[in-house]
Amino acid sequence: MTSATSVTSPAFEDRDGVVWLDGAFVPWRDARLHVLSHGLHYGGAVFEGLRVYGGRPFRLTDHSRRLAASARELGYELPFDVAALDEATTEVVRRQGVGDGYVRPVAWRGSDHISVSGAGVSVHVAVAAWEWPHVFSAEAKERGIRLGTSRWRRPAPDTAPVRAKAASLYALCTLARDAAERDGYDDALLLDFRGRLAEATGANLFLVIDGALHTPPPDTFLDGITRRTVMDLAREAGLAVSERPMEPGELARAEEVFLTGTAYEVQPVRAVDGREFGVGKVTRALAEAYARRVREAPPS
């Protein structure tokens, strides 16, 4: 296993510090919800994940905006605007003393009543932050990870709120990731409902073909903020970027494969279903460019 997650780490419910919950800072262990919360029973929670580098959350406002947009996709408005979310996140990071870590903003419908309808149910928001430098080991970052294609597929846009970072959609990712790890892989590759290449369980997919970047269009999965950052970096470096539908057979044409995501950053892939790839110069160059970008001082 190459994941940095360890069963010996402290349980998330039993840590020191504070969590921002509904506009106030509360002790970490007191940041709880009721077992009859609507979001728990009917999958109405939305969330974000953002990285902290040198004490600064990367592209904070973009993540806050996407959290609000995800909530609207699920039919509710957050009780805090983007500026308030930005301020809360910045202060949580400061109070927790996070240098290089991770932030998890989350919103959900509360426990006013339990029925399928979410109309009139209160909305709660929390932000937590902790130190978490890497998902995968240094060896995995250098050599790449192995993916196995999952039997689970990304749903069609008219069957699920695919533009939202919704907790309910991550049930597919959990099922796919658990099965992949049981089979000896590090992560799973998901196809979409049409059988085309889509993404990994928590990261977007890129293929390097003839020196150019190719990536599936985000019509059945989340358009990642890291994804867009890496595409911008590639264009700045003079690389051609093609966003287009791709069949699984196109993996045979790829010289390099990598994933992008807030937690994954730029993660090389060394194999998919036994087909091996090199960790080449394009992947390495983009990983280095991304590492520089996330630590640049924001424009004044």
- Catalytic residues, which ones? 165
Helix (H) or strand (E) holding 87: helix 82-96
Q: What is the DSSP letter of 28?
A: G
- Half-sphere CA count of 283, side-chain side, radius 13 A: 26
Distance, CA of 247 to CA of 195 (rounded, Å): 7
| Amino acid found at 278 | G
Residue 98 CB: number of other CB atoms within 10 A? 20
Q: Please state the separation of Cα 298 from the chain's center in Å.
A: 22
| Listed residue (203, 192, 210, 209) closest to 226, CA to CA | 203
Distance, CA of 255 to CA of 169 (rounded, Å): 31
Rama region for 158: left / alpha / beta (φ>0; ψ in -120 to 50; rest): alpha
| Listed residue (95, 19, 93) closest to 56, CA to CA | 93
Give SS3 for 131. strand
**Residue burial 141-170, b: 16+ Cβ < 10 Å; e: rest:** beebbbbbbbebbbbeeeebbbbbbbbbbb
Distance, CA of 264 to CA of 20 (rounded, Å): 25
